[in-house]
Structure 1
Amino acid sequence: MYALLKPIITFILTLMISLSAHAIDPPDKLKDDPANPIRLFAIFHDDVPAAKRSTTYADHIRPFTAEFENITGRKIHVIFDRSRPPYTNFNYKSKDQNNMFEDWKKLAWEYKRERYERNEFPLSSNDRILLITNDFINGGPVFGGVGGIANGPGLTAIASLDFKQVIGHELGHSFNAIHEEGEVLYNGWWCETFMFEPLPLRSNCFVFSEGNRKRIKDYVDSRY
Protein backbone atom coordinates (compact mmCIF):
# COMPACT_ATOMS: atom_id res chain seq x y z
CA MET A 1 0.00 0.00 0.00
CA TYR A 2 2.81 2.41 0.94
CA ALA A 3 4.52 1.68 -2.37
CA LEU A 4 1.33 2.75 -4.15
CA LEU A 5 0.81 5.86 -2.01
CA LYS A 6 4.43 7.05 -2.11
CA PRO A 7 4.32 8.63 -5.61
CA ILE A 8 0.99 10.30 -4.80
CA ILE A 9 2.34 11.75 -1.52
CA THR A 10 5.49 12.93 -3.29
CA PHE A 11 3.42 14.65 -5.97
CA ILE A 12 1.24 16.40 -3.37
CA LEU A 13 4.27 17.60 -1.37
CA THR A 14 5.96 18.86 -4.54
CA LEU A 15 2.83 20.76 -5.51
CA MET A 16 2.55 22.32 -2.03
CA ILE A 17 6.18 23.46 -2.13
CA SER A 18 5.70 24.89 -5.61
CA LEU A 19 2.58 26.79 -4.60
CA SER A 20 4.23 28.15 -1.45
CA ALA A 21 7.26 29.34 -3.40
CA HIS A 22 5.04 31.06 -5.93
CA ALA A 23 3.04 32.76 -3.19
CA ILE A 24 6.05 34.49 -1.66
CA ASP A 25 7.60 35.64 -4.93
CA PRO A 26 7.37 39.43 -5.32
CA PRO A 27 4.76 40.47 -7.90
CA ASP A 28 6.22 41.10 -11.35
CA LYS A 29 3.31 43.23 -12.48
CA LEU A 30 1.24 45.98 -10.93
CA LYS A 31 -1.52 44.64 -8.67
CA ASP A 32 -3.57 47.80 -9.16
CA ASP A 33 -6.01 48.41 -11.96
CA PRO A 34 -4.14 49.88 -14.98
CA ALA A 35 -6.20 53.05 -14.55
CA ASN A 36 -4.55 53.66 -11.17
CA PRO A 37 -1.58 56.04 -11.15
CA ILE A 38 2.05 55.03 -11.02
CA ARG A 39 3.52 56.37 -7.79
CA LEU A 40 6.67 58.49 -7.82
CA PHE A 41 8.16 58.86 -4.34
CA ALA A 42 10.23 62.06 -4.58
CA ILE A 43 12.56 62.16 -1.56
CA PHE A 44 14.37 65.42 -0.87
CA HIS A 45 17.88 64.98 0.44
CA ASP A 46 18.57 67.03 3.55
CA ASP A 47 20.98 69.22 1.58
CA VAL A 48 18.20 70.65 -0.65
CA PRO A 49 17.24 74.10 0.69
CA ALA A 50 13.59 75.05 1.19
CA ALA A 51 13.65 77.59 -1.65
CA LYS A 52 14.62 74.87 -4.14
CA ARG A 53 12.08 72.40 -2.76
CA SER A 54 9.27 74.87 -3.40
CA THR A 55 10.00 75.03 -7.14
CA THR A 56 11.08 71.44 -7.76
CA TYR A 57 7.72 70.13 -8.92
CA ALA A 58 6.99 72.90 -11.42
CA ASP A 59 10.52 73.26 -12.79
CA HIS A 60 11.92 69.73 -12.65
CA ILE A 61 9.21 67.07 -12.19
CA ARG A 62 6.10 68.34 -13.98
CA PRO A 63 7.84 68.55 -17.40
CA PHE A 64 8.63 64.83 -17.12
CA THR A 65 5.25 63.70 -15.77
CA ALA A 66 3.36 65.68 -18.44
CA GLU A 67 5.41 64.07 -21.21
CA PHE A 68 5.23 60.60 -19.62
CA GLU A 69 1.44 60.76 -19.20
CA ASN A 70 1.06 61.94 -22.80
CA ILE A 71 3.20 59.03 -24.05
CA THR A 72 1.72 56.22 -21.97
CA GLY A 73 -1.79 57.33 -21.00
CA ARG A 74 -0.84 56.43 -17.38
CA LYS A 75 -1.11 58.98 -14.59
CA ILE A 76 1.76 59.59 -12.17
CA HIS A 77 1.01 60.42 -8.54
CA VAL A 78 3.96 62.31 -7.00
CA ILE A 79 4.48 61.78 -3.25
CA PHE A 80 7.06 64.11 -1.71
CA ASP A 81 9.02 63.17 1.37
CA ARG A 82 11.74 64.83 3.45
CA SER A 83 13.44 64.73 6.85
CA ARG A 84 13.28 60.93 6.98
CA PRO A 85 16.68 59.44 7.84
CA PRO A 86 18.39 57.19 6.84
CA TYR A 87 16.96 57.97 3.40
CA THR A 88 17.25 61.75 3.38
CA ASN A 89 20.78 61.87 4.79
CA PHE A 90 22.16 59.13 2.55
CA ASN A 91 25.77 59.81 1.52
CA TYR A 92 25.36 60.02 -2.25
CA LYS A 93 28.61 61.87 -3.00
CA SER A 94 31.14 59.37 -4.30
CA LYS A 95 33.78 58.91 -6.97
CA ASP A 96 32.59 55.31 -7.22
CA GLN A 97 29.00 56.03 -8.20
CA ASN A 98 28.21 52.42 -9.09
CA ASN A 99 28.95 51.05 -5.62
CA MET A 100 27.18 54.01 -4.05
CA PHE A 101 24.12 53.36 -6.19
CA GLU A 102 24.04 49.70 -5.18
CA ASP A 103 23.82 50.87 -1.56
CA TRP A 104 21.06 53.32 -2.46
CA LYS A 105 19.05 50.65 -4.30
CA LYS A 106 19.01 48.52 -1.14
CA LEU A 107 17.94 51.49 0.93
CA ALA A 108 15.26 52.44 -1.61
CA TRP A 109 13.79 48.95 -1.35
CA GLU A 110 13.70 49.35 2.45
CA TYR A 111 11.87 52.65 2.01
CA LYS A 112 9.30 51.02 -0.23
CA ARG A 113 8.86 48.06 2.13
CA GLU A 114 8.52 50.36 5.15
CA ARG A 115 5.69 52.35 3.60
CA TYR A 116 3.97 49.17 2.44
CA GLU A 117 4.18 47.53 5.87
CA ARG A 118 2.65 50.64 7.45
CA ASN A 119 -0.31 50.17 5.08
CA GLU A 120 0.36 53.56 3.50
CA PHE A 121 0.58 52.30 -0.08
CA PRO A 122 0.06 49.00 -1.93
CA LEU A 123 3.14 47.18 -3.19
CA SER A 124 3.84 47.80 -6.85
CA SER A 125 6.88 46.96 -8.97
CA ASN A 126 6.05 49.94 -11.20
CA ASP A 127 6.53 52.61 -8.54
CA ARG A 128 9.66 54.77 -8.69
CA ILE A 129 11.75 56.10 -5.81
CA LEU A 130 13.71 59.25 -6.62
CA LEU A 131 16.34 60.81 -4.37
CA ILE A 132 16.55 64.53 -5.21
CA THR A 133 19.90 66.09 -4.34
CA ASN A 134 21.26 69.60 -4.26
CA ASP A 135 24.70 68.66 -5.62
CA PHE A 136 26.29 66.38 -8.19
CA ILE A 137 27.32 62.87 -7.19
CA ASN A 138 30.84 63.87 -8.14
CA GLY A 139 32.35 66.74 -10.04
CA GLY A 140 30.10 69.63 -10.95
CA PRO A 141 28.13 71.27 -13.75
CA VAL A 142 31.00 73.50 -14.89
CA PHE A 143 33.93 71.07 -15.09
CA GLY A 144 31.97 67.88 -15.68
CA GLY A 145 30.77 65.19 -13.34
CA VAL A 146 27.87 62.87 -12.57
CA GLY A 147 24.62 64.71 -11.91
CA GLY A 148 22.40 61.65 -11.64
CA ILE A 149 22.19 57.89 -11.93
CA ALA A 150 19.42 55.34 -12.49
CA ASN A 151 18.58 51.75 -13.23
CA GLY A 152 17.74 51.13 -16.82
CA PRO A 153 14.95 50.16 -16.32
CA GLY A 154 14.45 49.84 -12.58
CA LEU A 155 12.99 50.93 -9.27
CA THR A 156 15.00 53.99 -8.37
CA ALA A 157 17.07 57.00 -9.42
CA ILE A 158 19.16 59.81 -7.98
CA ALA A 159 19.04 63.25 -9.62
CA SER A 160 20.60 66.64 -8.91
CA LEU A 161 18.72 69.92 -9.23
CA ASP A 162 21.64 71.59 -11.03
CA PHE A 163 20.06 71.09 -14.47
CA LYS A 164 16.31 71.14 -15.06
CA GLN A 165 16.29 68.06 -17.29
CA VAL A 166 18.26 65.75 -14.94
CA ILE A 167 15.20 64.38 -13.14
CA GLY A 168 13.44 63.65 -16.44
CA HIS A 169 16.64 62.11 -17.80
CA GLU A 170 17.14 59.71 -14.89
CA LEU A 171 13.46 58.78 -14.63
CA GLY A 172 13.53 58.19 -18.37
CA HIS A 173 16.29 55.61 -17.83
CA SER A 174 14.14 53.94 -15.18
CA PHE A 175 11.38 53.49 -17.79
CA ASN A 176 13.77 52.08 -20.43
CA ALA A 177 14.80 55.24 -22.33
CA ILE A 178 18.40 55.28 -23.58
CA HIS A 179 21.04 57.85 -24.57
CA GLU A 180 21.37 56.42 -28.07
CA GLU A 181 17.82 57.50 -28.92
CA GLY A 182 18.33 61.05 -27.65
CA GLU A 183 18.05 63.85 -30.20
CA VAL A 184 18.66 67.56 -30.70
CA LEU A 185 15.58 69.27 -32.15
CA TYR A 186 15.15 72.69 -33.70
CA ASN A 187 12.15 74.89 -32.96
CA GLY A 188 13.63 78.33 -33.60
CA TRP A 189 16.65 77.31 -31.51
CA TRP A 190 18.33 73.98 -30.82
CA CYS A 191 17.01 72.03 -27.86
CA GLU A 192 17.88 68.66 -26.33
CA THR A 193 15.40 65.88 -25.68
CA PHE A 194 15.51 64.41 -22.18
CA MET A 195 18.04 61.68 -22.96
CA PHE A 196 20.57 63.80 -24.85
CA GLU A 197 23.63 64.87 -22.88
CA PRO A 198 23.21 68.59 -22.02
CA LEU A 199 25.24 71.37 -23.57
CA PRO A 200 24.94 74.88 -22.03
CA LEU A 201 24.44 76.63 -25.39
CA ARG A 202 21.30 74.66 -26.18
CA SER A 203 17.90 74.78 -24.47
CA ASN A 204 15.77 71.92 -23.12
CA CYS A 205 12.92 70.48 -25.18
CA PHE A 206 11.44 68.68 -22.13
CA VAL A 207 10.22 65.89 -24.42
CA PHE A 208 11.53 62.46 -25.39
CA SER A 209 12.56 61.61 -28.92
CA GLU A 210 10.19 59.43 -30.96
CA GLY A 211 12.51 56.45 -30.45
CA ASN A 212 12.48 56.84 -26.68
CA ARG A 213 8.76 57.54 -26.64
CA LYS A 214 8.23 54.13 -28.23
CA ARG A 215 10.63 52.44 -25.81
CA ILE A 216 8.85 53.97 -22.80
CA LYS A 217 5.35 53.10 -24.01
CA ASP A 218 6.30 49.54 -24.94
CA TYR A 219 7.96 49.03 -21.56
CA VAL A 220 5.07 50.44 -19.51
CA ASP A 221 2.48 48.50 -21.53
CA SER A 222 4.44 45.28 -20.92
CA ARG A 223 4.18 45.76 -17.16
CA TYR A 224 0.40 45.32 -17.01
Structure 2
Amino acid sequence: MLFFHHAISGHYTLTKARGTCKLLSQLAELISLSQDFKMLPINIHTYVHDTVQETNDKQLEYLFFSVFTPELSEITGREVTVTFHRNVPGITDFSYAHYSDCYSNLCAFEEAISADLQTAFAACKANSPRPAKLTDIDLLLIDGYLVKSLKVEGIALPEANIACATTFGRVVVAHEVGHCLGATHEDAALYRDTEFNDPNHCATFMATQRPEWTCALFGYSAENRYNIHNYLKDAP
Protein backbone atom coordinates (compact mmCIF):
# COMPACT_ATOMS: atom_id res chain seq x y z
CA MET A 1 0.00 0.00 0.00
CA LEU A 2 1.23 3.47 -0.88
CA PHE A 3 0.86 6.57 1.25
CA PHE A 4 1.16 10.10 -0.09
CA HIS A 5 1.58 13.35 1.75
CA HIS A 6 -0.16 16.35 0.22
CA ALA A 7 0.11 20.03 1.01
CA ILE A 8 -3.32 20.90 -0.40
CA SER A 9 -6.37 21.89 1.63
CA GLY A 10 -8.94 19.31 2.63
CA HIS A 11 -10.31 17.55 5.72
CA TYR A 12 -8.79 15.69 8.61
CA THR A 13 -9.85 12.83 10.75
CA LEU A 14 -9.99 14.29 14.25
CA THR A 15 -8.64 12.42 17.22
CA LYS A 16 -11.45 11.55 19.58
CA ALA A 17 -10.80 12.60 23.14
CA ARG A 18 -12.49 9.48 24.46
CA GLY A 19 -9.98 6.72 24.89
CA THR A 20 -6.91 8.92 24.44
CA CYS A 21 -5.97 8.91 28.14
CA LYS A 22 -6.41 5.13 28.25
CA LEU A 23 -4.16 4.73 25.21
CA LEU A 24 -1.46 6.90 26.77
CA SER A 25 -1.60 4.88 29.97
CA GLN A 26 -1.33 1.57 28.07
CA LEU A 27 1.52 2.92 25.97
CA ALA A 28 3.47 4.07 29.04
CA GLU A 29 3.16 0.57 30.50
CA LEU A 30 4.32 -1.06 27.26
CA ILE A 31 7.29 1.30 26.95
CA SER A 32 8.31 0.52 30.53
CA LEU A 33 8.25 -3.21 29.78
CA SER A 34 10.17 -2.82 26.50
CA GLN A 35 13.02 -0.98 28.21
CA ASP A 36 13.90 -4.17 30.09
CA PHE A 37 15.08 -5.76 26.83
CA LYS A 38 17.95 -4.80 24.54
CA MET A 39 16.48 -4.17 21.10
CA LEU A 40 17.85 -3.30 17.68
CA PRO A 41 17.94 0.42 16.88
CA ILE A 42 15.74 2.11 14.30
CA ASN A 43 18.13 2.97 11.48
CA ILE A 44 17.05 5.67 9.02
CA HIS A 45 19.38 5.46 6.03
CA THR A 46 18.93 8.85 4.39
CA TYR A 47 20.01 9.28 0.79
CA VAL A 48 20.42 12.98 0.05
CA HIS A 49 19.35 13.73 -3.51
CA ASP A 50 21.69 15.77 -5.67
CA THR A 51 19.04 18.52 -5.84
CA VAL A 52 19.15 19.19 -2.09
CA GLN A 53 20.95 22.49 -1.63
CA GLU A 54 21.88 21.99 2.02
CA THR A 55 25.29 20.30 2.15
CA ASN A 56 25.66 20.13 5.93
CA ASP A 57 24.35 16.80 7.24
CA LYS A 58 24.14 18.11 10.81
CA GLN A 59 21.88 20.90 9.64
CA LEU A 60 19.66 18.42 7.77
CA GLU A 61 19.43 16.27 10.88
CA TYR A 62 18.50 19.28 12.99
CA LEU A 63 15.85 20.55 10.57
CA PHE A 64 14.11 17.33 9.57
CA PHE A 65 14.99 14.59 12.08
CA SER A 66 15.45 16.17 15.50
CA VAL A 67 11.76 17.09 15.45
CA PHE A 68 10.66 13.44 15.70
CA THR A 69 13.51 10.99 16.40
CA PRO A 70 13.54 11.59 20.19
CA GLU A 71 9.83 10.79 20.26
CA LEU A 72 10.37 7.63 18.19
CA SER A 73 12.97 6.51 20.69
CA GLU A 74 10.62 7.22 23.58
CA ILE A 75 7.71 5.37 21.93
CA THR A 76 9.66 2.25 21.01
CA GLY A 77 12.36 2.11 23.66
CA ARG A 78 14.91 1.91 20.85
CA GLU A 79 17.83 4.06 19.84
CA VAL A 80 17.21 5.94 16.58
CA THR A 81 20.14 6.52 14.24
CA VAL A 82 20.21 8.67 11.10
CA THR A 83 22.94 7.93 8.55
CA PHE A 84 23.37 10.21 5.56
CA HIS A 85 24.48 8.89 2.17
CA ARG A 86 25.49 11.10 -0.75
CA ASN A 87 26.66 10.50 -4.32
CA VAL A 88 25.07 7.07 -4.63
CA PRO A 89 24.42 6.37 -8.34
CA GLY A 90 20.86 5.30 -9.06
CA ILE A 91 19.56 6.74 -5.79
CA THR A 92 20.80 10.28 -5.18
CA ASP A 93 20.38 11.05 -8.88
CA PHE A 94 16.97 9.33 -9.12
CA SER A 95 14.88 11.23 -11.70
CA TYR A 96 11.81 11.76 -9.55
CA ALA A 97 10.78 15.00 -11.27
CA HIS A 98 10.04 13.44 -14.64
CA TYR A 99 7.29 11.17 -13.31
CA SER A 100 4.76 13.97 -12.94
CA ASP A 101 5.44 14.94 -16.56
CA CYS A 102 5.07 11.39 -17.87
CA TYR A 103 2.06 10.33 -15.82
CA SER A 104 -0.95 12.62 -15.60
CA ASN A 105 -2.98 9.92 -13.83
CA LEU A 106 -2.10 9.68 -10.13
CA CYS A 107 -2.65 5.92 -9.98
CA ALA A 108 -0.28 5.33 -12.90
CA PHE A 109 2.22 7.67 -11.28
CA GLU A 110 2.04 5.76 -7.99
CA GLU A 111 2.58 2.42 -9.69
CA ALA A 112 5.51 3.61 -11.79
CA ILE A 113 7.48 5.51 -9.16
CA SER A 114 6.98 2.89 -6.45
CA ALA A 115 8.24 0.11 -8.72
CA ASP A 116 11.24 2.15 -9.82
CA LEU A 117 12.14 3.20 -6.27
CA GLN A 118 12.10 -0.42 -5.13
CA THR A 119 14.24 -1.45 -8.10
CA ALA A 120 16.73 1.36 -7.46
CA PHE A 121 17.13 0.54 -3.77
CA ALA A 122 17.39 -3.19 -4.47
CA ALA A 123 20.24 -2.53 -6.92
CA CYS A 124 21.92 -0.23 -4.41
CA LYS A 125 21.79 -2.80 -1.62
CA ALA A 126 23.04 -5.54 -3.92
CA ASN A 127 26.35 -3.68 -4.13
CA SER A 128 26.66 -3.32 -0.36
CA PRO A 129 24.30 -5.87 1.18
CA ARG A 130 22.94 -5.44 4.70
CA PRO A 131 20.39 -7.78 6.30
CA ALA A 132 16.79 -6.64 5.90
CA LYS A 133 15.30 -5.55 9.21
CA LEU A 134 11.89 -4.20 10.17
CA THR A 135 13.74 -1.42 11.97
CA ASP A 136 15.73 -0.27 8.90
CA ILE A 137 14.23 2.44 6.70
CA ASP A 138 15.61 3.74 3.40
CA LEU A 139 14.68 7.38 2.86
CA LEU A 140 15.28 9.47 -0.26
CA LEU A 141 15.44 13.15 0.73
CA ILE A 142 14.56 15.42 -2.20
CA ASP A 143 14.27 19.17 -2.76
CA GLY A 144 11.02 19.46 -4.70
CA TYR A 145 7.50 18.11 -5.13
CA LEU A 146 6.94 14.58 -6.38
CA VAL A 147 3.87 15.87 -8.24
CA LYS A 148 4.10 19.64 -8.52
CA SER A 149 0.56 20.15 -9.81
CA LEU A 150 -0.89 18.39 -6.74
CA LYS A 151 1.85 19.49 -4.34
CA VAL A 152 2.63 15.91 -3.36
CA GLU A 153 5.51 16.17 -0.88
CA GLY A 154 6.31 12.54 -0.20
CA ILE A 155 5.53 8.87 -0.59
CA ALA A 156 5.94 5.81 1.62
CA LEU A 157 6.14 2.13 0.68
CA PRO A 158 5.78 0.45 4.10
CA GLU A 159 5.98 -3.07 2.68
CA ALA A 160 9.49 -2.25 1.40
CA ASN A 161 10.51 0.13 4.22
CA ILE A 162 11.18 2.83 1.62
CA ALA A 163 10.13 6.46 1.80
CA CYS A 164 10.70 9.65 -0.16
CA ALA A 165 10.25 13.09 1.40
CA THR A 166 10.83 16.69 0.38
CA THR A 167 12.70 19.35 2.33
CA PHE A 168 9.83 21.79 1.65
CA GLY A 169 8.40 21.18 5.12
CA ARG A 170 9.90 20.15 8.45
CA VAL A 171 7.28 17.47 9.18
CA VAL A 172 7.30 15.59 5.85
CA VAL A 173 10.14 13.23 6.84
CA ALA A 174 8.40 12.43 10.13
CA HIS A 175 5.17 11.78 8.21
CA GLU A 176 6.67 9.32 5.71
CA VAL A 177 8.85 7.53 8.27
CA GLY A 178 5.73 7.26 10.43
CA HIS A 179 3.97 5.37 7.64
CA CYS A 180 6.87 2.90 7.50
CA LEU A 181 6.36 2.24 11.21
CA GLY A 182 2.60 1.72 11.26
CA ALA A 183 1.27 5.28 11.69
CA THR A 184 -1.81 6.25 9.67
CA HIS A 185 -3.64 9.31 8.37
CA GLU A 186 -6.82 8.12 10.07
CA ASP A 187 -5.22 8.33 13.51
CA ALA A 188 -3.81 11.81 13.00
CA ALA A 189 -5.05 14.56 15.28
CA LEU A 190 -5.95 18.22 15.40
CA TYR A 191 -5.75 20.25 18.57
CA ARG A 192 -6.99 23.72 19.47
CA ASP A 193 -4.86 26.10 21.47
CA THR A 194 -7.23 26.56 24.40
CA GLU A 195 -4.88 28.85 26.32
CA PHE A 196 -5.04 31.58 23.70
CA ASN A 197 -8.42 30.53 22.25
CA ASP A 198 -6.79 30.28 18.83
CA PRO A 199 -9.50 29.41 16.24
CA ASN A 200 -6.93 27.53 14.15
CA HIS A 201 -5.94 23.95 14.81
CA CYS A 202 -2.48 22.48 15.25
CA ALA A 203 -1.90 19.25 13.34
CA THR A 204 0.18 16.22 14.36
CA PHE A 205 2.75 14.62 12.04
CA MET A 206 0.42 12.22 10.23
CA ALA A 207 -2.23 14.79 9.31
CA THR A 208 -2.56 15.35 5.58
CA GLN A 209 -4.25 17.92 3.37
CA ARG A 210 -3.72 20.53 6.08
CA PRO A 211 -6.26 23.39 5.96
CA GLU A 212 -4.86 26.87 5.45
CA TRP A 213 -3.44 28.52 8.59
CA THR A 214 -3.13 25.21 10.40
CA CYS A 215 0.10 25.08 12.38
CA ALA A 216 2.29 22.00 12.68
CA LEU A 217 2.42 20.28 16.05
CA PHE A 218 5.74 18.42 16.26
CA GLY A 219 4.49 15.09 17.54
CA TYR A 220 2.48 11.95 16.80
CA SER A 221 -1.05 11.59 18.15
CA ALA A 222 -1.69 9.21 21.05
CA GLU A 223 -3.27 6.75 18.61
CA ASN A 224 -0.28 6.79 16.27
CA ARG A 225 2.17 6.50 19.14
CA TYR A 226 0.31 3.33 20.07
CA ASN A 227 0.36 2.14 16.43
CA ILE A 228 4.12 2.66 16.15
CA HIS A 229 4.85 0.85 19.39
CA ASN A 230 2.68 -2.11 18.40
CA TYR A 231 4.25 -2.25 14.93
CA LEU A 232 7.70 -2.88 16.39
CA LYS A 233 6.83 -4.62 19.65
CA ASP A 234 7.72 -8.11 18.35
CA ALA A 235 10.77 -7.04 16.31
CA PRO A 236 14.22 -7.97 17.69
| TM-superposed deviation, 1:109 | 2.6
User: Structure 1: which amino acid aligns with 2:113?
Assistant: M
Matched, 1:192 2:196: no
Partner of 1:50: 54
2:183 aligned residue: 177
Which of 153, 159, 162 in structure 1 is aligned with 2:165?
A: 159
- Find the aligned partners of 2:59 and 2:202 in 1 and give their Cα distance: 22
User: Which fold has the larger relative contact order, with Cα–Cα distance below 8 Å and residues 6 or more apart in sequence?
Assistant: 2
Q: Residue 228 of structure 2 aligns with which residue?
A: 216
Residue 95 of structure 2 corresponds to which residue in structure 1?
Answer: 91
Aligned length, in residue pairs? 185
Counterpart selection for 1:80 from 56, 81, 84: 84
For structure 1, the residue ranges without an aligned partner over 5 or more in a row are 1-32
Query: How far apart, in 1, do the equivalents of 2:71 and 2:211 lie?
Result: 21
Aligned counterpart, 1:103: 116
| Residue 52 of structure 1, CA deviation | 7.3
Q: 1:147 to 1:52 in 2, by over 3 A?
A: farther
In structure 2, the residue matched to 1:12 is none
C-alpha contact (below 8 Å) 2:118/2:160 kept by paired residues: no
**Alignment match of 2:138 (pick from 88, 111, 129):** 129
Identity %: 26
SS of equivalent to 1:185 = strand
Aligned structure 1 segments of 4 or more residues deviating by more than 4 angstroms: 51-54
Cα distance in 2 between the residues matched to 1:171 and 1:183: 17
Would you tell me which structure has more helix in proportion to its own residues? 1
Deviation at 1:222? 2.5
2:162 maps to 1:149? no
**Per-residue deviation, residues 134-169 of structure 1 (Å, max 9, x unmatched):** 0010116xxx42110002354110000111111000
Q: CA deviation at 1:98?
A: 3.0
Q: Specify which of 74, 78, 100 is matched with residue 70 of structure 1.
A: 74
Structure number with larger C-alpha Rg: 1
Distance (Å, rounded) in 1 between the aligned partners of 2:154 and 2:162 = 11
CA-atom RMSD, angstroms? 2.1
Shift of 1:59: 1.3
Tell me the secondary structure at the aligned position of residue 98 of structure 1: helix
